[in-house]
Structures are given as structure tokens and as C-alpha cells.
Chain A
Amino acid sequence: TQLLEQSPQFLSIQEGENLTVYCNSSSVFSSLQWYRQEPGEGPVLLVTVVTGGEVKKLKRLTFQFGDARKDSSLHITAAQPGDTGLYLCAGRQGAQKLVFGQGTRLTINP
């Protein structure tokens, strides 16, 4: 059983469309992070959210942490081919190690 469930697992859309990726859990996290991984590389940190209800924006990417700190979403506006990759959410409980979701494999078609 995965502690963090990501949906959808796969998403293929056209350039210019908007999309939302979800990361859900029944557990509470002290913080949640989003990473992007490209083929042949390790995951790269995009953002850390700490406070329930927090919203962070990174250019066309908007990250939200749920009020109860059990879930998070990533919204991409006007997707571009360069956004293609594996998006991973990861949660931390206290001082424990990060636990990763299964990932959402995103493909943006030109």
C-alpha cells in the first residue's frame, strides 16, 4: 500500500492545455515536496510546502497544500513540451525520511 497516491499515473495532453496532478494520503505530513524527474536523471526539487492551505507559484506551475496537510496538487497552465517528465510528490512526517508517491508521467505533445 502506497502512503502517497498520485493521480493520474499517466497524462498526455497537447501543448497549451492546462492540467492538474493530485497527491493524496490518509496521513498528515509536516511538509510536502514536489520533484520532477527527466529520463536518465535523478529527481529535482521544484517546491516545498509546509503550511496547510499554502499556495506557491513557480512561473506556470501552482502548488497547493491541503488545509489538513494530507494532500497536495500541482497545476500547470499552458503546458509546454519542456514540462514533459515524471512528477513526484514526497511527504515528510516529523524528522523522518521522505516518502515518495508513485509519480505522474506527463507528456506534452507539440
Chain B
Amino acid sequence: DSGVTQTPKHLITATGQRVTLRCSPRSGDLSVYWYQQSLDQGLQFLIQYYNGEERAKGNILERFSAQQFPDLHSELNLSSLELGDSALYFCASSPTVSGNYGYTFGSGTRLTVV
């Protein structure tokens, strides 16, 4: 158990639908990162939050949004889902945004869009 909790572990949904992925960071970590992993794209950075505020954005689609709540948990919302959105979505956390801390990853949410 890494200390980063992601739910649900698996999600199957139809095209056009909307889903919410949830992440609780490791205790004491203030920064949360979302990554998408697919077979041909590797780990792609989506978005980062630090203590409730958005700090960096990657190649996140406009159909996707995220937020970090006062208790530091984060949610990634994916809407108007397409077949190509099927992937593993990982959440990671770190104590701060600077320094050489490693990321602690959750076990991921496997999203399948049918």
C-alpha cells in the first residue's frame, strides 16, 4: 500500500458519458498529480494541484477537468467520453512542488469506454 488511494479501480462506461475518478494523497503530501497511461503514449501528465490550487497543466483535454478539495483529496472529471479515452489514470502525490521528492503513485483507475 503506497498510501495514495484511488477509486474506483475499474470503470466501464459508454461513449458520451461522464465519470469521476477520485484520489486521496499520501498523508502529509500537499501536491497531487494526474497522469494518463495508455499502451502507445506512456505516462502523460494531465494536471497538478498544490494545496487546493492548480499549479500546472499538461495536455489535458477541455472535456477533462479536475479539482483539489480542502481535505486535499482530488477528483478528475472526464466528460463526453470517447473510445480513445480508455486508459489507466494514475494519481500521484508529493510533499511539495519543489525539491527532488519522488512521486508516490496510487494503483490507478482502469477506464474502459465502450
A binds B: yes
Interface residues of A (CB under 8 A from B): 2, 30-31, 33, 35, 40-45, 48, 50, 88, 90, 92, 95-103
A43, B33: Cβ atoms closer than 8 Å: no
Nearest A residue to B4 by beta-carbon distance? A42
- Determine chain A's interface SS by DSSP, over half rule: loop
Q: Which chain B residues have a beta carbon within 8 Å of chain A's beta carbons?
A: 2, 4, 33, 35, 42-43, 45, 48, 56, 58, 90, 92, 97-98, 100, 102-108
Within the assembled complex, what's the spacing in Å between the Cα atoms of A48 and B90?
20
Chain A hits for B2, CB < 8 A: 42, 44
A44-B2, A48-B100, A95-B98 known; A101+B42 contact, CB < 8 A:
yes
* 7 tightest Cβ-Cβ pairs between the two chains A and B: A42-B105, A45-B102, A100-B43, A102-B42, A95-B98, A31-B100, A43-B105
Whether the pair B45, A97 counts as a contact (CB closer than 8 A) is yes
Task: Give 15 A-B pairs besides A33-B102, A95-B97 with Cβ atoms closer than 8 angstroms.
Answer: A35-B102, A40-B107, A42-B107, A43-B103, A50-B100, A88-B43, A90-B103, A92-B100, A97-B45, A97-B56, A98-B103, A99-B45, A100-B35, A100-B43, A103-B43
